Amino acid sequence: MPDSGLTPFRDFPEDLIRSIFESALEDPDDLNWECAMLSKAVQRWVEPLLYRQIVLNTTKRVSLLHRTVLDVTTSQSSRSMKARSFFQTHVKLFCMTTVDPDFWNLMFDIFLECSSAICNLYCHVLLNAAAARSVPKLRVGEHTVWERVHPKRLRIPELMFTPARRNFNQTVFKHVTHLDLYWRPTEDSNPWDWRSLSLLTALTHLCFSPSIPPESLPSASQSLRSAVPHFPPALIVCIFFIPYTQDLSDAYQHIEENGPRRLKDDRVVIAVDFRYWDEQSRIGLESVLEGEIIWRHSHNNSTEARKDNEGPLWDRAESVITKRRRIS
């Protein structure tokens, strides 16, 4: 075999060699980037897997990836083995977390070049009104990327929408099945047009996530109440998350006020901080928690939390719905 990087596998057929490397990269959170350096052939095989999930959580990572994307998508692309459409084709999950605002424009440059194939979009940029003004032209209604991206799973702060775009008749919502909206207390909290929620015919899973209790809980709670009458027919479950529950002296009151009995809709499920859940279980209150509320991680930027948010969180909520209806 002419490629020296594959010498240890010279007696193996090429399709088997390729399968070996692809299997080695099945866990996107434990990637071995060095394997891409073995040979040009291996690089061609594994790079689509290495870049299928992009998580921008440090300024260094933003800077390095921005340079790579620029090499591929501009006139400098002759230095790269990747096709100009590489990122538009292969990136399936894109996660933006809070970094220095000076790097947000670079982050959105990357986002724009990856937008076409993104299925899961997690925007963990903790915007407030001041930040939105200091880094303008990035929100829905301002930046063109929001007309090009069509995710099925979306987690995004409400302040990523300009006041005029706080409705669900937006391109970014068109194919969304799982939507997680989170709130921060701000003077820019223009009300959403919750009547338009019924337009989301693909939406099956919805979550309201206040970001900083207790300040953001009233706004999120009022939004939940306004949304319930307009739940789309396909909706299976709506989670109301109470983060850092263990720090609230009136946690049980919030659980009651935003629960299915008060709202008269059995699709509503309360989620509490895992640490609160664990504490209550340790003192013997698991019978109160079981079947009524679920747990969730408050630190949503962690790898553990992101993996849980992608599937297990929703599974726990659906299990609650199933149990309620079986009992009733």
Q: How high is the pLDDT of residue 1?
A: 42
Average pLDDT over residues 20-47: 59
Q: How high is the pLDDT of residue 10?
A: 57
> Which of these ranges, 30-34, 114-118, 166-170, has the smallest mean pLDDT?
30-34
Domain locations in the chain? 1-49
Helix (H, G, I), strand (E, B) or coil at 157: strand
Peptide bond into 229 cis (omega under 30): no
pLDDT at 216 over 50: yes
User: Which tokens hold the place of 171?
Assistant: 């391109």
- Nearest by Cα to 72 from 61, 84, 87: 84
**Most confident by average pLDDT, 24-28, 149-153, 324-328:** 149-153
Residue 5 burial (CB < 10 Å; 0-12/13-18/19+)? Answer: middle
pLDDT tens across 217-276, in order? 888 999 999 999 999 999 999 999 999 998 888 888 999 999 998 999 999 999 999 988
Strand partners, 272: 242, 295
Residue 164 burial (CB < 10 Å; 0-12/13-18/19+)? Answer: exposed
Average pLDDT over residues 14-32: 56
**Most confident by average pLDDT, 33-42, 102-111, 199-208, 257-266:** 199-208
Q: How high is the pLDDT of residue 235?
A: 98
Taken in order 153, 159, 161, 165, the sign of the CA dihedral is: positive
pLDDT tens across 90-126, in order? 999 999 987 788 888 899 999 999 999 999 999 987 6
- Nearest by Cα to 158 from 201, 125, 133, 205: 125
Q: How high is the pLDDT of residue 57?
A: 87
User: Which tokens hold the place of 228?
Assistant: 């319930």
- Mean pLDDT rounded to a whole number for the chain: 83
Q: How high is the pLDDT of residue 47?
A: 80
Q: Residue 30: how many CA atoms within 13 Å on its side-chain side?
A: 6
pLDDT at 199 over 70: yes
- Nearest by Cα to 35 from 53, 8, 58: 8
> Which of these ranges, 88-92, 131-135, 153-157, 270-274, has the smallest mean pLDDT?
131-135
> Which of these ranges, 35-44, 71-80, 168-177, 227-236, has the smallest mean pLDDT?
35-44
pLDDT at 281 over 70: yes
Give per-residue burial for 167-181: e unless 16+ CB within 10 Å, then b: ebebebbebbbbbbb
Q: How high is the pLDDT of residue 2?
A: 46
Strand partners, 296: 273
**Most confident by average pLDDT, 15-19, 30-34, 215-219, 283-287:** 215-219
User: Which tokens hold the place of 305?
Assistant: 């939390």
Strand partners, 97: 124
How many percent of the chain have pLDDT more than 90?
A: 45
Quote the CA–CA distance of 158 and 139 in Å, as a whole number.
10
Q: How high is the pLDDT of residue 16?
A: 56
3-state helix, strand, coil in the chain (%, to 5): 50, 15, 35
What confidence tier does 212 reach under pLDDT thresholds 50, 70, 90? confident
In terms of pLDDT, which residue wins out, 15 or 298? 298
pLDDT at 167 over 80: yes
